[in-house]
């Protein structure tokens, strides 16, 4: 059984992320959507809420599991007995950073491979950063995220 880990902060999970989860779920036996605590990034939403939102968004995929983690990705992979990382590439500008991460992960854990997937064109411009910014300014993000996520963001910013 091949288990793949799709790591990120998912702050919040977007339709682009969900697109990649769906693609990975068709290719691999088990997909773990690994949500990093990432306290140094100062996420907008707490880890527990990001996990809950992701679980709601990907619940239709029977071979997808959502986990929060707060350790090195390579350690998380070892804990999950996984050797494959999925990363998304939206544009050429993502490639250099993702290549650096893949090489670093391989240096730390030589048996780990990174596989890159691209989202559908209609999701290629969506980023969590842009979704947060639009939400902060009371804009409509319903085209970019699951309705559950849109509502959570609306609630988060309602008193700002």
Residues 6+ apart with CB under 8 A from 54: 10, 13, 33, 35, 66
Q: Cβ(19)–Cβ(61) under 8 Å?
A: no
**Residue 158 placed within a domain:** no
Burial string for 23-46 (b: 16+ CB within 10 Å, else e) reads bbbeebebbbbbbbbbeeeebbbe
Residue 147 counted as domain residue: no
Q: Distance between CA atoms of 127 and 25, rounded to whole angstroms?
A: 21
pLDDT for 10 equals 98
The answer to whether 156 is annotated as binding is no
Give residue 93's pLDDT.
80
Catalytic site positions: 17, 41, 90, 128
Please tell me the predicted confidence (pLDDT) of residue 159: 78
Domain of 119, CATH number, reads 3.40.50.620
For the chain, the domain total comes to 1
In a domain, 139, yes or no: no
Run means of pLDDT, 10 residues per run, the chain, 160 residues: 95 97 97 96 96 98 98 97 95 88 96 95 92 96 97 91
pLDDT at site 140 = 96
Structure tokens at 37: 């605590």
With respect to residue 132, please indicate whether it lies within any of the assigned structural domains: no
Q: Is 114 annotated as a binding residue?
A: no
Query: In this predicted structure, what is the pLDDT of residue 110?
Result: 97
Distances (CA, A) of 136 to 17, 84, 132, 141: 20, 35, 6, 10
Residue 123 among known ligand-binding residues: yes
Confirm whether 14 is domain-assigned.
yes
Question: Could you tell me the residue range of the domain that residue 98 belongs to?
Answer: 3-124
- C-alpha 67/C-alpha 71 separation (Å) is 12
Q: Is residue 154 assigned to a domain?
A: no
> What pLDDT, on the 0 to 100 scale, is given for residue 92?
81
**In this predicted structure, what is the pLDDT of residue 138?**
95
The verdict on whether residue 17 carries a ligand-binding annotation is yes
- 39 within some domain: yes
- Does any domain span residue 91? yes
Tell me how far apart the terminal alpha carbons of the chain are, to the nearest angstrom: 47
């Amino acid at each position: 059984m091949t288990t793949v880990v799709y790591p990120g902060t998912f702050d919040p999970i977007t339709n682009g992320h969900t697109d990649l989860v769906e693609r990975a779920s068709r290719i691999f036996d088990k997909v773990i959507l690994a949500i990093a605590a990432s306290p140094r990034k100062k996420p907008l939403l707490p880890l527990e809420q990001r996990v809950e939102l992701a679980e709601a968004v990907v619940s239709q995929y029977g071979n997808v599991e959502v986990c929060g983690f707060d350790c090195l990705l390579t350690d998380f992979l070892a804990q999950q007995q996984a050797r494959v990382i999925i990363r998304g590439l939206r544009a050429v500008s993502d490639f250099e950073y993702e290549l650096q991460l893949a090489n670093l992960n391989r240096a730390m854990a030589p048996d780990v491979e990174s596989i890159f997937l691209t989202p559908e064109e209609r999701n290629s411009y969506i980023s969590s950063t842009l979704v947060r910014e639009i939400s902060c300014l009371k804009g409509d993000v319903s085209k970019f995220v699951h309705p559950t996520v849109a509502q959570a963001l609306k609630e988060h910013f309602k008193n700002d």
